[in-house]
Amino acid sequence: MASTTGALKKSNIFKVISALRNCSPLTKPEIVLRTGLTSATVHAFINELCEKGTVIEAGLGESSGGRKASLYELNTSCFYMIGVHVSLTEISASIYDLSLLSMNTLQESMNLADTSVEEGLDLITNVIRKLIADGNIPEDKIAGIGITVPGPVDFDKGIVNYLPNAHNWKNIPLKTIMESRLGIHTLVDKNNNGIMIYDKWTRLSDTVNNLVHISITDGVGSGIIINGSLFRGSHYITGEIGHMSLDPDGDHCNCGNRGCLELYVSNRALVKKFLTANPSIPGGDFTIKNMIRERQNANPAASLIFTEAADYLAFSIDNIIKMVDPDEIVIDCEWLSEMPDLFSQCVNRVFTLNHMIDRSDVNITLAKIDNILIKGSASLIYNEIFGDYQTSVLIN
């Protein structure tokens, strides 16, 4: 009975916290209206949360003729979250407060495919330690570390199953290793799942309940939300669209398949094609940014390669729509974002291919969030804090 009463109290306190997260600042009467709790209960919970430092006073509300009521809001500095994104080329990490405001960011170059697992683990550990030291954040104020990687992860166990573009990272218990090294609660997931969790808290609405986020960098992947919930699948390989074959007789992909989408639209694939077509251009430090400039300067090879890539992407988006039937598709792609005409061409091509749905029913848009991959990593912890009272550090 005592445990049931305790759980009910925690659940009700969580309602107060959720109300303040959704809309701050609020007066106690406003919290009563939003939670359905009694005035006495809200009064007691707010006092308790203020004593703990979870909630703070934020001035006075408007007067309706009597005494002005105090306003309350979450203390977004009572805990912090660390987000770490491991890409094929670098480690990016940031400390966030509870409003997902970045306090400090660090980046460290790393060639994931050519780096040993032990060396990679050391680099990740050192970046996190330096981030904490530079931010001067007490470790007991860190709610957790969220780490995302470019490939399938067993989220429940925190094991990196397999990274298609870094084969040495296979069956690596990253969660256990980092918790042992740092002594801080850690969650690990695929990079696009982190983005989807961020989107769940910032993008979902009454009209957007099914969402696909496509990420195109040196690799290609996606995350999927169905009926408001992240869809991971039975074996954690959901969303690996970069390794869906478009041509069974195409070039070999790092995943072991042939003709994968990644070979036709990823940054490094496009750069490779361009340099092959332009052997006089030195390849050393040539990046997708350089190739975008070549297209803007009317280089015919760059124009052709990007146009073909947009068509391949449109073909894949058409298939995604037919499989998932989303309300919205968000594309995070540097080269497509720099070429509005090509983006329009891609979207037009999608609906030329797809006659099953009206164009107005699916919103295809470009991502406009800076550092979304790191924010997605931190969102693993954010989701734990604000998604369930049983896992929230603000309650337990």
Distances (CA, A) of 384 to 11, 54, 239, 304: 14, 16, 22, 45
Question: What's the CA gap between 88 and 242, in Å, rounded?
Answer: 14
State the Cα–Cα distance between residues 331 and 339, nearest whole angstrom: 13
**Coil, strand or helix at 54:** coil
CATH numbers and ranges of domains, the chain: 2-74 (1.10.10.10), 80-196+373-387 (3.30.420.40), 202-369 (3.30.420.40)
- The Cα–Cα gap between 262 and 315 comes to 13
- Secondary structure letter of residue 281 according to DSSP: S
pTM of the model: 0.92
Residue-by-residue pLDDT tens, the chain, 396 positions: 556 788 999 999 999 999 999 998 999 999 999 999 999 999 999 999 999 999 999 988 776 666 788 999 999 999 999 999 999 999 999 999 999 999 999 999 999 999 999 999 999 999 999 999 998 999 999 999 999 999 999 999 999 999 999 999 999 999 999 999 999 999 999 999 999 999 999 877 777 899 999 999 999 999 999 999 999 999 999 999 999 999 999 999 999 999 999 999 999 999 999 999 988 888 778 999 999 999 999 999 999 999 999 999 999 999 999 999 999 999 999 999 999 999 999 999 999 999 898 889 999 999 988 889 999 999 999 999 999 999 999 987
CA–CA distance, 267 with 271 (Å, rounded to integer): 6
Report whether 56 contacts 72 (CB < 8 A). Answer: yes
